[in-house]
Chain A
């Protein structure tokens, strides 16, 4: 079984795109549409990498990241921020990468490959 990626985004069309893309490239996927669900899925599935949108209804990406960092089993999981916000660079300092929407598919796959442990 391949490495597992958790996709967190409130737009189901984007979730569908990302999961299909990752699955086509040999990764297993799981997804969540907001921060609290994301935390739940992350605990359960223990993904190898997480892609995170910043602006979502309810809790935003940064808060998810803070909560996730407090959990022993999750705090070292690499996070890639994929967001349409222009000022996203400072939002999560420790993210392994920040990508703007719309993104280049090959670049995303390359970053995933480099960072997935």
Chain B
């Protein structure tokens, strides 16, 4: 579209002649011979270039033109005037005007001035566009930065060496500000990349990958996170970095834990329930046959039995309801020797079934300790079952052994060790081993056993030290105080 040019001059003949000339130069020309008519056009907003001899018949048009120009600095202004006026015009307009043309106007001078005006116009338009773009970009960047920071997930951007190149606010809060550090070090306190790293996979194939991980914050807290990765490509489409978004799902897991622990508790009571149901069956059988045989003694006996069994079922159901609410520990002073032997006996069938050498050593007089025998037994059996599984999984060695010992030097505490020469664990498995639903056993594991066992030991104010090496075996050292610190303590629920 042609640029609109406003030609202002009091001389009607001049404006008419020039406008013909300018129209040939592809301008849409509007002429004004008074300020009144000029200002009407100027306020129409569509004027692109102004050529003016400001000395108009009506009023102080120099001042008005200056005022107008200051409002629209991007419109090029070409001033013309008789040679006698030109100097004073220059003084007045100074740099406000693009250039000054003396009258009579020469076509070459006019052409050059108009070319300048057009260039200036184009330049102005470009600058305007760029400015707008920069503003948009800046606004966009601020928005993305804000989004990046405020997203309630841990976001990290990593290079090919798994070094963190950018992290968001939440990440910095929980894992520290460690640009340049390795992801595996920050997230998992490891010294080498994790197996099955989703970031590595995305670098390889450019697709999104998802995993569930357990990470350790700088405060030492463990979080369950769901990670999701996305490639970041450069201008050539090469993947230069990968973004990892990790959502903290610890809360959800905790909720699941609670439901599961209820299920687990019911499971642990199922043996008792099954026995009672069998006995109840017996009562019903005797009632049935007693009536059929018309044997009043048997009927009466059957009735007694059923009543007795209903009482037992009732008691157990009430117990289940009680435990489901708060898992109280029933501490009893228990002789260590007899207790450990009972635990050993429980695991013996499993050990024997796999031809594993099982050695139980109890040093001297092991004394007694205050524990909940049922729960504590469950914890130890759980560790031993894991030792059996570790031996069975390891097919490298011709035979395996498991050692269960009570160490002699425990005055204030009882020290129980469980050692096996099974498959062992790597650093990551060791870090995750007490996490709910973490299992290294694939479809065979539920990820429940060690989690519960760990909680039970903790509820006894005990501690577990683990040393393990992949391919070599695992050693656990469990320390439990002999006496309860606070007798009347309301035991924390399992969760």
* CB contact between A91 and one of B273, B282, B305, B349 (< 8 Å): that residue: B349
Any chain A CB within 8 A of the CB of B309?
Answer: yes
**Chain B, 147-158, contact with A by CB distance < 8 Å: what is the 0/1 string?**
000000000000
Query: Interface extent on A, as a size class?
Result: 20 to 34
CB distance B271 to A17 under 8 Å? no
CB distance A105 to B281 under 8 Å? yes
Known: A20-B286, A24-B289. A90 touches B349 (CB 8 A): yes
Any chain A CB within 8 A of the CB of B285?
Answer: yes
CB distance B281 to A86 under 8 Å? no
CB distance A11 to B353 under 8 Å? no
User: Which B residue sits closest to A86, measured CB to CB?
Assistant: B270
Taking CB atoms and an 8 Å cut-off, the chain A residues in 62-94 that contact chain B are: 62-63, 84-87, 90-93
Any chain A CB within 8 A of the CB of B275?
Answer: yes
CB distance A11 to B285 under 8 Å? no
CB distance A62 to B349 under 8 Å? yes
CB distance B274 to A101 under 8 Å? yes
Bound-state Cα–Cα, A24 to B346, Å: 35
Distance from B446 Cβ to chain A, minimum over Cβ atoms (Å) = 13
**Chain A, 7-30, contact with B by CB distance < 8 Å: what is the 0/1 string?**
000010110111011001000000
User: Which B residue sits closest to A91, measured CB to CB?
Assistant: B349
CB distance B353 to A90 under 8 Å? yes
Tell me the count of chain B residues lying within 8 A, CB to CB, of chain A: 26
Question: With a CB–CB cut-off of 8 A, which chain A residues contact B350?
Answer: 87, 90
Distance from B95 Cβ to chain A, minimum over Cβ atoms (Å) = 96
CB distance B279 to A17 under 8 Å? yes
Bound-state Cα–Cα, A84 to B278, Å: 9
User: Which B residue sits closest to A90, measured CB to CB?
Assistant: B353
Bound-state Cα–Cα, A62 to B308, Å: 30
Known: A90-B350, A93-B353. A17 touches B270 (CB 8 A): no
Any chain A CB within 8 A of the CB of B277?
Answer: yes
Distance from A63 Cβ to chain B, minimum over Cβ atoms (Å) = 7
CB distance B305 to A16 under 8 Å? yes
Any chain A CB within 8 A of the CB of B240?
Answer: no
User: Which 3 A-B pairs have CB atoms at the shortest separation, nearest pair first?
Assistant: A17-B282, A84-B274, A13-B279
Given A14-B278, A87-B350, A101-B278: 12 more A-B contacts, CB < 8 Å:
A13-B305, A16-B305, A17-B282, A20-B286, A60-B349, A62-B349, A84-B271, A84-B273, A84-B275, A86-B271, A91-B349, A105-B281
Q: List 29 A-B contacts (CB under 8 A).
A: A11-B275, A11-B278, A13-B279, A14-B279, A14-B282, A16-B282, A17-B282, A17-B283, A17-B286, A20-B285, A21-B285, A24-B289, A59-B345, A60-B346, A84-B271, A84-B272, A84-B273, A84-B274, A86-B270, A90-B353, A91-B349, A92-B349, A93-B353, A101-B275, A101-B277, A101-B278, A102-B274, A102-B277, A102-B280
